[in-house]
């Protein structure tokens, strides 16, 4: 048995070295739009974990067919923007993985839909300089942040402020770690007095809460990106992340909703059953949940309508899995 494991590890290492060293055909790098297209609807899409299953994960789901239809499906909403909640690709340093992402996302990119990217752990995979060389030319929003030694930023879309955070704490220097937290606190205070912003949505890759059997909830995200942030802002109504390849819905502090939506094509993860769950999940969808993404729409005043779209493998169709509303006005009552 030990000999077989050793052979498997050796083959895996050789494959990783080969794929990182083999010459890659030079293709033009597309630039992803940074403004909503004209005549778009008031829909903003959140999607996480569109990465390919890595070669060394050969025993896990291979969901190429689902990924190929994901962005054409998203386009049917005529959205203003797509928030990518991390793990866009399997290995961030691998140019061919980014070329694959360029192909599957082309339906949305060619429509001029705004892309708002978040750094995930797979996007950091490999040498960081190589990862950033792939990311920066594609995503001007991240490139602009990186010019200031940041991988976090804020962007406003239709009166909703999206605060994009980097929860890959091991990838940050001590100064970056402290800078991000100070920036988050000050940005939230500024939005409190900005009448043009009705809602604040926090986005990071790692979930603070999850019942996944593969990954745990991140304590630093819980303490710094959720509880500390809620102490600074009354406009936060939605917190969303990926990383756990599933869908979950939690609530905290009156009308704050937390969703985990990592259903963009990465190999799915089972959840603990209700009896053994770490956190109470509002959504009752079993332990192995459908591929999914989330839409956000500004409704009446400061109200957001949040809809989870799920893929039915039996009928090969996308349907509404869950729908709810959240409002900062309700939090103040």
pLDDT tens figures, 184-242:
999 999 999 999 999 999 999 999 999 999 999 999 999 999 999 999 999 999 999 99
- Give the whole-angstrom CA distance, residue 185 versus residue 168: 18
Residue 4 has pLDDT above 70, yes or no: no
Find how far residue 119's CA is from the centre of its chain: 8
DSSP letter for each residue of 291-306 = -EEEEEEE-STTEEEE
- Give the whole-angstrom CA distance, residue 38 versus residue 165: 27
pLDDT tens figures, 114-149:
999 999 999 999 999 999 999 999 999 999 999 999
- Give the whole-angstrom CA distance, residue 262 versus residue 61: 14
| pLDDT value of residue 11 | 45
Nearest to 257 by CA among 276, 274, 281: 281
Residue 98 has pLDDT above 60, yes or no: yes
pLDDT tens figures, 257-291:
999 999 999 999 999 999 999 999 999 999 999 99
pLDDT tens figures, 44-88:
999 999 999 887 878 788 888 999 999 999 999 999 999 999 999
Prediction pTM value? 0.91
Could you please state the CATH topology (level 3) that the domain comprising 2-332 is classified under. Answer: Purple Acid Phosphatase; chain A, domain 2 (3.60.21)
């Amino acid at each position: 048995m030990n000999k077989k494991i050793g052979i498997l590890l050796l083959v895996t290492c050789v494959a990783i070295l080969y794929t990182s060293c083999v010459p890659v055909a030079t293709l033009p790098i597309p630039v992803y739009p940074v403004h909503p297209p004209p005549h778009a609807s008031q829909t903003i899409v959140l999607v996480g974990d569109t990465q390919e299953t890595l070669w060394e994960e050969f025993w896990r789901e291979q969901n190429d067919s689902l990924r190929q239809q994901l962005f054409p499906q998203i386009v049917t909403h005529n959205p203003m923007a797509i928030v990518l909640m991390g793990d866009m690709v399997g290995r961030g340093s691998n140019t061919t993985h980014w070329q694959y992402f360029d192909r599957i996302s082309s339906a949305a990119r060619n429509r001029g839909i705004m892309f708002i990217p978040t750094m995930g752990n797979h996007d950091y995979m490999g040498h960081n300089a190589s990862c950033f060389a792939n990311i920066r030319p594609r995503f001007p929003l991240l490139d602009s942040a990186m010019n200031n030694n940041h991988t976090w930023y804020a962007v406003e879309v239709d009166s909703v402020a999206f605060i994009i955070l980097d929860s890959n704490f091991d990838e940050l220097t001590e100064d970056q770690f402290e800078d991000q937290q100070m920036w988050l606190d000050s940005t939230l205070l500024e939005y409190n007095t900005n009448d043009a912003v009705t809602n604040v949505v926090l986005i990071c890759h790692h979930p603070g809460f999850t019942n996944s059997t593969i990954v745990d909830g991140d304590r630093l995200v819980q303490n710094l990106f959720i509880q500390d942030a809620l102490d600074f802002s009354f406009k936060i109504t939605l917190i969303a992340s990926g990383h756990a390849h599933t869908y979950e819905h939690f609530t905290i502090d009156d009308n704050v909703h937390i969703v985990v939506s990592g259903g963009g094509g990465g190999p799915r993860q089972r959840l603990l059953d209700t009896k053994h769950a770490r956190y109470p999940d509002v959504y009752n969808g079993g332990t192995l949940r459908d591929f999914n993404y989330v839409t956000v729409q500004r409704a009446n005043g400061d109200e957001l309508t949040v809809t989870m779209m799920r893929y039915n493998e039996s009928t090969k169709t996308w349907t509404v899995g869950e729908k709810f509303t959240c409002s900062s006005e309700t939090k103040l009552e």
